[in-house]
Amino acid sequence: MHAMSKSSRPRVARLNLYVLVALGCATLAACGGKQEAATDAGVATSATAAAVAAPPPAVSEAVAAMSADQLREAASGALREQRLYAPAGNNAMEYYLALRDKAPSDPAVASALTDLMPYALIATEQSIQREDFTEAQRLYALMEKTDASAPALPRLKTTIAQSQQAVAARAEQDKVKSEEDLKKQADLEKQRLAQQATAQQQAAAQLAQQQAAQAEADKKAAAQREADQKEAAQRAAAAQQPAASAPAQQQASAPASSGGGGSLRAVSTPAPRYPPEAARRQQSGEVQVEITVGTDGSVTSARVVDANPARIFDREALAAVKRWKFAPIDAPVTTRRTINFRPGG
């Protein structure tokens, strides 16, 4: 009985020719950066190989339990479907290895395994490159069982071990870096919270000062309004005295300032305009003005002597007295008049 059909043998041979070129390229690409490590294999190989876990069994229990005829048929089918070394438990290489255990003297089986070795080698290199070490060790186990003295095996074993160590070291570095990043983020968050708390304390203190200042200002304003209202009430009461008191004051002051002029007799005394702002606030007050009346009875000058509250009613009081008219007199007369401002008055 033969392990492969006549059509299967040429197919494997042709594939072997193709793979020799690919094998050379893949081996150079995979091992170009590892020549230095390979040359120091005397110490490195023993150290790193010890770190590699034992490869899994090359042949699965299910395949090993198959009969020789079943293995030949399964191997031929795997070749037709190009399942040369994978998937695990259903590939030509495993079937031939199991068949060789049952028929060790069959040269066709040995030849088929020799033809399949380069494919397994390339697949192993590719698995190492993509850091699929489980698959790399499975393929290594297939190759080791096929030919334990194959020249590529020591290098592959060392490469797998070194790659695993490099990945583990990188993972540890990433872990340390991740922990450092987390610590840095925690420190930044702690700093941010501390700065936020300080800023809030400063803002609260500033707000408290503003509120205290505003309360003091409101208190003073209320006291001033109360004093103004009280004084305005007193002045209003004084202004309601008999009108005869004004001519008496006028007559008494006129000679002193005019040098002997006659008494004033009002012809027209328009009332002052009530300031809109004071009217909106229902604010009252009074203004004492000093006026000088010319000989034609017109007011030639006027000034504010006293005002309560200050500067609220001054302008309207002066504007009003400047429109006043008196009967002609012999000489200019200077006198003082008090003008009261009362809401609704």
Q: 306: Cβ–Cβ under 8 A, 6 or more apart, which residues?
A: 287, 288
**pLDDT tens-digit profile of 292-315?**
999 999 999 999 999 999 999 999
Lowest mean pLDDT among 127-131, 147-151, 221-225, 252-256: 252-256
| Per-residue model confidence (pLDDT) at position 205 | 84
Q: Which two tokens stand for residue 11?
A: 């197919």
343 Rama class: left (phi>0) / alpha (psi -120 to 50) / beta: beta
CA 154 to the chain's CA centroid: 53
| Per-residue model confidence (pLDDT) at position 54 | 60
Mean pLDDT for the stretch of residues 256-281: 78
C-alpha 193/C-alpha 5 separation (Å) is 78
Provide the residue count of the chain.
345
Q: Is 326 helix (H, G, I), strand (E, B) or coil?
A: strand
Taking 60 as the threshold, does the pLDDT of residue 217 lie above it?
Answer: yes
| Per-residue model confidence (pLDDT) at position 238 | 62
- Dihedral in degrees, nearest 10, Cα atoms 45, 49, 51, 52: 150
Q: Tally the C-alpha atoms within 13 A of residue 305's C-alpha that lie toward its C-beta.
A: 12
Contact present, 18 and 101 (Cβ < 8 Å): no
Mean pLDDT for the stretch of residues 164-180: 92
Q: Which two tokens stand for residue 339?
A: 């003008």
Q: Where are the domains of the chain?
A: 8-171, 247-341
Smallest Cα–Cα separation from 124: which of 148, 141, 140?
140
Give the sign of the dihedral formed by CA 160, CA 165, CA 166, CA 171: positive
**pLDDT tens-digit profile of 19-60?**
443 444 444 344 444 444 444 444 344 444 434 456 679 999
Taking 50 as the threshold, does the pLDDT of residue 290 lie above it?
Answer: yes
CATH of domain 247-341: 3.30.2420.10
Smallest Cα–Cα separation from 113: which of 126, 134, 128, 99?
99
C-alpha 263/C-alpha 332 separation (Å) is 10
The pLDDT mean for the chain works out to: 81
What percent of the chain has pLDDT above 90? Answer: 57
Q: 10: Cβ–Cβ under 8 A, 6 or more apart, which residues?
A: none
| Per-residue model confidence (pLDDT) at position 256 | 33
Taking 60 as the threshold, does the pLDDT of residue 16 lie above it?
Answer: no
Q: 251: Cβ–Cβ under 8 A, 6 or more apart, which residues?
A: 263
Q: Looking at residue 66, what DSSP letter applies?
A: S
Taking 90 as the threshold, does the pLDDT of residue 151 lie above it?
Answer: yes
**Alpha-helix residue ranges (DSSP H) falling in the chain:** 8-31, 35-39, 41-49, 61-64, 68-80, 92-102, 107-129, 133-146, 152-239, 245-258, 276-280, 314-321
**pLDDT tens-digit profile of 87-120?**
999 999 999 999 999 999 999 999 999 999 999 9
Taking 90 as the threshold, does the pLDDT of residue 74 lie above it?
Answer: yes
Taking 80 as the threshold, does the pLDDT of residue 266 lie above it?
Answer: yes
Taking 60 as the threshold, does the pLDDT of residue 1 lie above it?
Answer: no
| Per-residue model confidence (pLDDT) at position 338 | 95
**Alpha-helix residue ranges (DSSP H) falling in 50-151:** 61-64, 68-80, 92-102, 107-129, 133-146
Q: Which of the two residues, 245 and 326, has the higher pLDDT score?
A: 326
Q: Is 345 helix (H, G, I), strand (E, B) or coil?
A: coil
Q: Looking at residue 260, what DSSP letter applies?
A: S
